Amino acid sequence: MTISEIPVIGVTTPKKFELVSRNLDKFPTSMLNRVHQYFMAEAFSTTPLLAMGGVIALGAVLGGRVYKAQPMPCTSSLYVCVSARSGTGKNAPKDLITRILSDCDMLELLGGSRFTGESAIRNMLVKYPTKVMVIDEFGDKIDEGLNSNSSTIVAGGFSALKSLYSESMSTSMACEMAHNTKSTTENNASKPIKHPSLSILGLTTNEKLNKVINDELLEGGTLNRFIFLHDITRDSKINWSYVGSDTPSWLTNHLGQLSNKRCGSISGDRRKDAEWGEDSMTRNEFENAPLYTYLDIDEDMGKAFHYKIAEMNGNSIFNNLSQRWLENGNRLAIGLTVLDNPNAKRVPQEIQSWCYDFVEFHGKRFMDNYASRPTNKFAENQDYILKLMKSSKDNKISKKDLGNQKRIRGLNMHQRAELISALIDSEDIRSEAHGKAIVYILNNE
């Protein structure tokens, strides 16, 4: 396959985003679309892209440490961050993934929902080396862990993510700070891990992500490991008849094939060369590498996508963020192939091509959104309002009093409305009517 045979989507620079001709709102196979439709139906409120993020995360963890691609070697572990408008149902993917893994007797694949430090992450993976973490308010975690002045525990967590992404087919070495010098027994976090498979589904609001992302973060080496899905849907799908139910038999039977490959049997006869549990860890079985099922992937198609990316040659931010599009596309293709057909021997070309298009499309959408985000002056005015409210006695201010502030008085009505709307959408403040007066109240964390 040549470069010209790969469909061109969007533009070759991050300046202006255009819609693609290909339908990327749907997965490329009937089974994947059936799972996607289930994610949509089994949520009171969600959007198609949020549901897609859930399906992608599910495939990523189900393939972890069991499947590997060749001749472009990589595994299915994947980092995805979905940003959506506030109130569109960001909790739905987490609830569905938890239910499905539980009903399919694979709940051990579910990691914690709170993002903490390096030792906690390593401890989790030593106990069980394949995990998916579904993390809400991920924009706050990016801000806390990746800003230039950060020395927090969360910063150590992002350092671990950066390493674990690249160590999914090798050995993740011990965290030196995790050694307990007062004990002859090393804690779990200090032990090496063979082929750790950690997948992330981060959930945040568009407004929060816009607020925390800057050039320095984008030019670093952490965020380019993520696939960012920027959801522009204004209204979520409301399922008024939603009552919640067990995972349907067609899906548990389908995923049961993956449970068998991972465990030996659904009853829990763990395949020692694929996984290990806390009990077997005492017998040093955590040192074993997994026995993979190999999936053939089209190398010529991968080369064509690689050269297509190289020909784009955008600015430094674009070049950095697009650096891992090929690898993320391959990882995504493995996870979706496994979810589509647990007995597959190769990645279907329609899945591989779709994944490359999907990664490129959303990579450009993310960068276009970043380029067109509110100006620094806009963010400064937001910070001014928040600081003003925090300094007040009751953490609130009336619309009238805010308008009388010198800095705000210089803005027109439209500019003021945009400021307040953005702060409400990011859930920093809320608006209440007190008689005839409008009062803005700071939301306590």
Is the previous residue joined to 71 through a cis bond, with omega within 30 degrees of 0? yes
Length of the chain equals 445
Q: For 328-341, how does the pLDDT look when each residue is reduced to its tens digit (9 = 90+)?
A: 999 999 999 999 99
Q: Are residues 74 and 21 in the same domain?
A: yes
Q: How far apart are CA 287 and CA 443, in angstroms?
A: 47
Residues 317 and 393 in one domain: no
What pLDDT, on the 0 to 100 scale, is given for residue 44?
83
**Residue span of the structural domain in which 381 resides:** 376-442
Give dist(CA 202, CA 334) in Å, integer. 20
Residue 12's pLDDT band (boundaries 50, 70, 90)?
very low
422 in the same domain as 276? no
User: pLDDT category, 8, cuts 50, 70, 90?
Assistant: very low
Written as six digits, the tokens of 135 are: 């993390």
Separation between Cα atoms, residue 383 and residue 345, nearest integer Å: 54
Q: In this structure, what DSSP letter does residue 6 have? A: S
Same domain? 50 vs 69: yes
Q: How confident is the model at residue 143 (pLDDT cuts 50, 70, 90)?
A: confident
> What distance in Å separates the CA atoms of residue 418 and residue 411, rounded to the nearest whole number?
11
If phi > 0 it is left, if psi is from -120 to 50 it is alpha, else beta; for residue 369 that is alpha
Asked if residue 96 and residue 188 are part of one domain, the reply reads: yes
H-helix or E-strand spanning residue 301:
helix 299-312
Check whether residue 365 and residue 381 sit in a common domain. no
Strand positions, DSSP E, 206-247: 226-230, 237-238
- If DSSP codes are grouped into helix, strand and coil, which group holds residue 125? helix
Among 371, 399, 434, give the residue marking a domain's end. 371
Instruction: Give yes or no: residues 403 and 298 share one domain.
Output: no
pLDDT tens per residue, range 53-103: 999 999 999 999 999 999 999 999 999 999 988 778 888 899 999 999 999
Which of 319, 336, 371 is the last residue before a domain boundary? 371
My answer on whether 187 and 223 are in the same domain is yes
Structure confidence at residue 357 (pLDDT) = 95
Stated pTM of the model: 0.77
Indicate if the alpha-carbon torsion angle 94, 96, 99, 104 is positive or negative: negative
Nearest to 144 by CA among 124, 165, 168, 115: 115
> What is the rounded average pLDDT of the residues 357-365?
94
Q: List, for residues 407-418, the tens digit of each pLDDT value.
A: 898 888 888 888
Q: Are residues 146 and 103 in the same domain?
A: yes
Q: Helix, strand or coil for residue 114? A: coil
- Please write the tens of the pLDDT for every residue from 379-397: 778 888 988 998 888 899 9
- Contact between 295 and 344 under an 8 Å Cβ cutoff? The reply is yes
Do 182 and 311 belong to one domain? yes
- CATH code at position 411: 1.10.10.10
* pLDDT value of residue 376: 64
Angle between helices 325-340 and 299-312 (to 10 degrees): 140
Q: What's the sign of the alpha-carbon dihedral 340, 346, 350, 351?
A: positive
* pLDDT of 3 strictly over 50: no
Give the pairing type, strands 79-84 and 226-230: parallel
CA-to-CA distance for 97 and 99, rounded, in angstroms? 5
Looking at residue 263, what is its pLDDT?
54
More confident residue, 260 or 158: 158
Share of the chain above pLDDT 90, in %: 44
Please tell me the total count of domains within the chain.
Answer: 2
Phi-psi region of 51 (alpha: psi -120 to 50; beta: other; left: phi over 0): alpha
Higher pLDDT, 243 or 381: 381
Per-residue pLDDT band for 184 (boundaries 50, 70, 90) equals very low
Residues 412 and 320 in one domain: no
Q: How many CA atoms lie within 13 A of 8 on its CB side?
A: 10
Phi, psi (rounded to 5 degrees) for 145 = -95, -20
**Whether residue 192 is found in the same domain as residue 216:** yes
Quote the tokens at residue 302.
């991968």
Give the model confidence (pLDDT) of 149-181 as tens digits: 556 788 888 888 989 999 988 888 865 544 444
Residue 343 tokens, joined: 């007995």
CATH code of the domain containing 365: 3.40.50
Boundary (domain end) residue, out of 371, 404, 433:
371
| pLDDT given at position 374 | 60
What is the pLDDT at residue 278?
Answer: 38
Is 112's pLDDT higher than 60?
Answer: yes
DSSP string, 319-376: HHHGGGHHHHHHHHHHHHHHHH-TT-SB--HHHHHHHHHHHHHHHHHHHHHHHTSPPH
